[in-house]
Amino acid sequence: MRHASLTQRALGIAPPWKVTEAEFDLFSSRLDVHIYFSPGSRFACPVCGAECPVHDIERKSWRQRDFFQYQAWLHARVPRVRCDIHGINEVATPWAKPGRGFTLLFIAECLLASSVFWVE
């Protein structure tokens, strides 16, 4: 798991999240990083912030900023929590905004790349 540990640190993934696998495919020029959370983890309700148990999970993927010249993708099992007040809601991930298919780092890189600087 040395590669997973290195990838986890490079991405800034913190508990309860953890990188479980990092697959590098030289022929397809792609890095796929798989993220999960520790069993028994509880998460904050996205509405009220109350600590809640996991109800179920949904698999999601996000385009991450390139790893050198290789495409990078994050794949995670994202939990939905069961709040006594607000019902069942999907938790927010620290690497992407809800409902987006891109990580925050990928969006930042695109914004920087689209900026035009004139030097005279």
What's phi and psi for 104, nearest 5 deg? -65, -35
pLDDT at 3: 63
Helix (H) or strand (E) holding 105: helix 104-114
Domain ranges of the chain: 2-114
Span 26-52, mean pLDDT? 94
Identify the residue whose tokens are 């035009």.
116
- Among 30-34, 62-66, 91-95, 103-107, the range scoring the smallest mean pLDDT is 103-107
pLDDT at 61: 93
pLDDT at 6: 75
pTM value > 0.85: no
The residues, ordered by sequence, that sit 6+ positions from 94 with a Cβ below 8 Å of its Cβ are 12, 13, 14, 17
How does pLDDT run across 8-23, given as a tens digit for each residue? 887 788 899 999 998 9
Helix (H) or strand (E) holding 106: helix 104-114
How does pLDDT run across 80-118, given as a tens digit for each residue? 999 999 999 999 888 887 777 767 676 676 666 666 555
98 three-state secondary structure: coil
Alpha carbon 91 to its chain centroid, in Å, reads 12
Instruction: Count Cβ neighbours within 10 Å for each residue of 74-97 and write b for 16 or more, e otherwise.
Output: bbbebbbbebeeeeebbbebebbe
The residues, ordered by sequence, that sit 6+ positions from 80 with a Cβ below 8 Å of its Cβ are 54, 55, 56, 57, 58, 88, 89, 90, 91
